[in-house]
Amino acid sequence: MTAALFASVCLIAACGLIYELIAGTLASYLLGDSVLQFSTVIGSYLFAMGIGSWLSRYIRRGLVARFIAVELMVGLVGGFSSAILFLAFGWSPGWFRPLLYGLVLLIGTLVGLEIPLLMRILKERLKFEDLVSNVLTFDYLGALAASLLFPLVLAPKLGLVRSAMAFGMLNAGVALWSTFLLAAHLPNPLAARLQCAAVLAALAGGMFAADAITTMSEQAVFADDIVLARTTPYQRIVVTRWRDDFRLFLNAHLQFSSRDEYRYHEALVHPALASLSHRRRVLVLGGGDGMAVREILRYPDVEEVVLVDLDREMTAMFRDHPELSRLNGGAFRSPRVKVVNADAFVWLRETDARFQLAIVDFPDPTNFSVGKLYTTSFYRELARHLEEGGLAAVQSTSPMFARRSFWCIAETMRAAGWRVSPYHVYVPSFGEWGFMLGSLGDYRTPERLPEGLRFLTVRTLPPLFDFPGDMARVDAEVNRLNDQVLVRYHEQEWSQVSR
């Protein structure tokens, strides 16, 4: 019996950490700034656990019944927490943050009650020193198991809603198990078992309806029909469709609309690539949708395109899904294209490959994990992989709506040793959007462009490098790895814009 109760410690520790990780991940997906969200969620959760531990002193009788009741409450609240938060974000975004921290505090308080109650149940079976060491050992083992399972299995395979439901069922299973292990301490074991069965049935129903819950929530967020939605270890990917317009959203942020993405991708690729006389090898960092690669493949003298994108699920979608691969012209099936699924910063440090051009198409720096890809350290590393006279074109957010962020990227590239030529283009889905053309030598606008472009011409290219007064340069600090001012700039500026 004692061994079984220690196994329960391991399970409930895993459940508690999973609810914490799900809350932090959801907050990062939907609110951005992963460091802030995880820090505040973890801090609130640990604080609430302390409250629960303190409150446990006031439970003096019926310890087994109270322990089972706490397990069922944790299972219900924790199990449905992800579904509740998804629905709240879709239907009433203003309530998302209060509800998030309310649930974190409630779950943390309940989890804080579990271990003290279980230790008091076990105290008659073990010496105090053995009791404490064994309970804490199994508690930490459960936390380790949860921390490994969540990113490797649960988030990519089950998704956040199903993962929460599954671990809610584990809590309810521990409660049911306890009604047999500790039946002698229960006034009515049958009634307790029926309660456990009811909670398990509710959570099983939630597991069955998980896709419908997520779809219902996202349909409230996204105006158009959702044709594809996936949760990966790195992001939430949603593709919507209205008539012939496909839109890609990463963590609820629009990445492109198929109706006007050609403006963005032509501006990203051709001002740099068309100006090069030698362009045998091209590197693309990010750009997992393959649109930039499609533009690069217009040049028959480009022999190899290496695309490095962190998310394997993303590149697989745009390679295999018929309608999505049509948007990039089947770029990922070209024999000239090599796809590498890796962290771009790490990959650059580990390879000696050199290129004539780098296209840097990362999402906006909404958090520090993306912000590191806009630092002096990154741009210095990137320069090491370009041949003499090489160029880099960098997606650089909006010079209209995030003006200081845009010029921060320019200053950061200059501080890393690049000559920088900022330019901008109007994309209807985004408004004015900006890019940096970084060079290690001189840059001249091209005199010829490939045939078949829908937007750019030789005549309209030079005006892209001219900035009107409301987008002109402003003072900004350099974005460094140990002090990512860009993330703060971006959050401050975009929070003032209704998108």
212 within a domain of the structure (yes/no): yes
Q: Among the options 301, 361, 475, 483, which is catalytic?
A: 361
Domain of 99, CATH number, reads 1.20.1250
Mean pLDDT over 186-214 rounds to 91
Mean pLDDT over 93-116 rounds to 91
Domain edge (last residue) among 255, 274, 307: 255
Is 475 catalytic? The answer is no
Does 225 share its domain with 292?
no
405 within a domain of the structure (yes/no): yes
b/e string for 129-140 if b means 16 or more Cβ within 10 A?
A: eebeebbeebbe
Does 181 share its domain with 197?
yes
Does 41 share its domain with 107?
yes
What is the pLDDT confidence band of residue 126, given thresholds at 50, 70 and 90?
A: low
Does 110 share its domain with 179?
yes
149 within a domain of the structure (yes/no): yes
Kindly report, residue by residue over 488-498, the tens digit of the pLDDT.
Answer: 999 889 888 75
Does 269 share its domain with 225?
no
Does 241 share its domain with 325?
no
Find tokens 């629905």 and name the residue.
87
Domain span at 233? 219-255
195 within a domain of the structure (yes/no): yes
Pick the more confident residue, 105 or 120.
Answer: 105
Sheet containing 355-361: order of strands:
337-340, 304-308, 281-286, 355-361, 386-395, 431-439, 419-427
499 within a domain of the structure (yes/no): no
Does 141 share its domain with 200?
yes
Does 238 share its domain with 372?
no
User: Is pLDDT at 131 greater than 70 in this prediction?
Assistant: no
- Is 0.85 topped by the overall pTM? no
19 within a domain of the structure (yes/no): yes
Pick the more confident residue, 162 or 215.
Answer: 162
**Neighbour tally for 459: CB within 10 Å:** 7
b/e string for 99-126 if b means 16 or more Cβ within 10 A?
A: bbbebbbbbbbbbbbbbbbbbbbbeeeb
Does 235 share its domain with 288?
no
Domain edge (last residue) among 255, 282, 317: 255
Kindly report, residue by residue over 134-193, the tens digit of the pLDDT.
Answer: 777 878 888 888 888 888 888 778 888 889 999 999 999 999 988 998 888 898 999 999
Q: Give percent above pLDDT 70 in the chain.
A: 95
Domain edge (last residue) among 228, 255, 282: 255
Contacts of residue 199, defined as CB under 8 A and 6 or more positions apart, other chains included, come to: 72, 75, 76, 168, 172, 175
Does 385 share its domain with 402?
yes
- Give me the pLDDT at residue 499, please: 47
Domain of 343, CATH number, reads 3.40.50.150
Q: How far apart are CA 171 and CA 159, in angstroms?
A: 19
Does 103 share its domain with 228?
no
Kindly report, residue by residue over 415-450, the tens digit of the pLDDT.
Answer: 999 999 999 999 999 999 999 999 988 888 999 999
Does 189 share its domain with 294?
no
164 within a domain of the structure (yes/no): yes
Mean pLDDT over 288-304 rounds to 97
Instruction: Say how many domains are in the chain.
Output: 3
Pick the more confident residue, 225 or 263.
Answer: 263
